[in-house]
Amino acid sequence: MSNRHLTTAVAKPTALTHPESLKNPAGPSAFAKDPANAGLTKADKVKLYTQMARIRHFEQRCIRTYQQGKIGGFLHLYVGQEAVAVGTLSVLGKNDHLITGYRDHGHALMVGMDMNSCMAELQGKATGCSKGKGGSMHYFAPDKNYWGGHGIVGGQAPLGTGIAYALKQKGLKGCCLVYMGDGAVNQGAVHEAYNLAALWDLPVIFIIENNGYSMGTSQERSTAHPGSLAKRAEGYGMDWDLVNGHDLYEVRAKTAIAVKRAHEKNRPTVLEIFTYRYFGHSMADPDKTYRDKEEIKGYREEKDPIKLWEKELLNEGVLTDALVASINEAAMEEANKAADFADASPYPTVESITQDIYWEEDNRGKDTTSRGTIIFE
């Protein structure tokens, strides 16, 4: 164990601590023939590519909309991390659920939320997925087993553990994927969730999307750990694994093992998936003080998960250059149309400010038990 957490007086940005084996993941994936991937059809593989491309183009369109001044507040981009959401979520079944932090657009599109309502939400429009009441950090689609979209770092971990508890209590064979960033692992709520999940044998999978930086603080400056963040799971008697988040096949393979463990044994897992974000923590982060431009460039050029998947599928003869072009063109057009839809949508009404607070208030007279003044002047 190193004492690197004590060396806080670093003069220059510290490098990422991703394991050596994950630093040059280009080339054919060792997990292509894994049982989780063996059954993928050509169409499935193209679909996975399409889903990553849609997320990428949606967010690139978001940047433009943000720069046009149409998106307020925070905008935390997922660009560079697409293989994590797409890979993990692509192995789930109908009783499997997910919950995540505020970098939540990729997961939303992957579970099938439509670009129009997602884009409109960013602009605070009434047609947004949360009627303009949640914003970028608070997307929800319970009909798609997607429970948000949570703004407070690590606060979703107990909630996701509760979802897993509810599944077990109801006798459903399912699990809950709880996504968080590397910055969340030092929050007490996360450790309390670990303990409960392990203690009560809950079907939950904690996924640390380790992009190396909790906002502007590198892992080296934020976290004392026994060699990896996931290894902390051992302290709770949980299984854990490290995953190359630039390799879609590997993400799928290792997630599938954890899902099986959850389904069959009701046991939790911690997966640390190494990934990288190309943009700042949010659009409000000028991204100039804590990491080298060269580092970003290196990831973009050599380890981009979409490019690597594209290469993999071109080699397999599943994709062609023409198909790549048409998929990207369609995704870009979909994103542009979503932006147009958001532009044309109305803002919520003033009356709506006091709606959707209480079920009982919104359903007055229908089996409600509350009386009295519930919303004050």
Partner 1 sequence: MPILSYREAIRAAMREEMKRDENVVIMGEEVAQFNGAYKVTEGLLKEFGPKRVIDTPISEAGFIGLGVGASMLGIRPVMELMFWSFSYVAFDQIVNNAGNIRYMSGGLINCPIVIRGPANGGTNVGATHSHTPEAMLAAHPGIKVVCPATPYDAKGLLKAAIRDNDPVYVMENTILYNDKGEVPDEDYIVPIGVADVKRAGTDLTIVAHGRAVITSLKAAEILEAEHGVSVEVVDLRSIRPLDEETILTSVRKTHRALLVEENKPFCGVDAQVAYIIQSKAFDELDAPIGRVSSIDAPQIYSKPLEDVQIPSPARVVEAALKVLA
Does residue 124 belong to the site contacting partner 1 (CB under 8 A)?
A: no
Among positions 51-70, residues that touch partner 1 (CB under 8 A) are none
Q: Taking CB under 8 A as the criterion, which residues in 331-350 touch partner 1?
A: none
Q: Give me the 192-231 binding string for partner 1, x by CB under 8 A, dash otherwise.
A: xx-xx--x--------------------------------
Q: Is 39 in the site for partner 1 (CB under 8 A)?
A: no
Interface with partner 1 includes 165 (CB under 8 A)?
A: yes
Q: How far is CA 256 from CA 8, 31, 208, 264, 338, in A?
A: 38, 12, 16, 12, 33
Which of 13, 158, 216, 298 contacts partner 1 by CB under 8 A? Answer: 158
The contacts of residue 112 (CB under 8 Å, 6+ apart) are 141, 144
Q: Of 63, 70, 74, 155, which one interacts with partner 1 (CB under 8 A)?
A: 155
Helix or strand holding residue 253 (H, E): helix 248-265
User: What is the spatial distance between Cα 293 and Cα 276, in angstroms, rounded to a whole number?
Assistant: 13
Under the criterion CB under 8 A, does residue 186 sit at the interface with partner 1? Answer: no
In the complex, minimum distance from the CB of residue 143 to partner 1, in angstroms, rounded to a whole number: 8
Pairing outcome for strands 217-218 and 213-214: antiparallel
The footprint of partner 1 on residues 90-119 (CB under 8 A) is 99
Which region, judged by CB under 8 A, interacts with partner 1, from 77-85, 159-167, 210-218, 233-241?
Answer: 159-167
Contact 368, 360 (CB under 8 A): yes
Phi, psi of 342 (to 5 degrees): -65, -45
Alpha helix segments (H runs only) across 39-78? 42-67
Region class of 69: left (phi > 0), else alpha (psi between -120 and 50), else beta: left
> Is residue 373 at the binding interface for partner 1, with CB under 8 A as the rule?
yes
Residue 213, strand partner residues: 218
CA distance 252 to 238: 20
At closest approach, how far in Å is the CB of 145 from partner 1? 10
Binding site for partner 1 (CB under 8 A): 99, 128-134, 138, 140-143, 147-152, 155, 157-163, 165-167, 169-170, 188-189, 192-193, 195-196, 199, 355-360, 362-363, 369-376
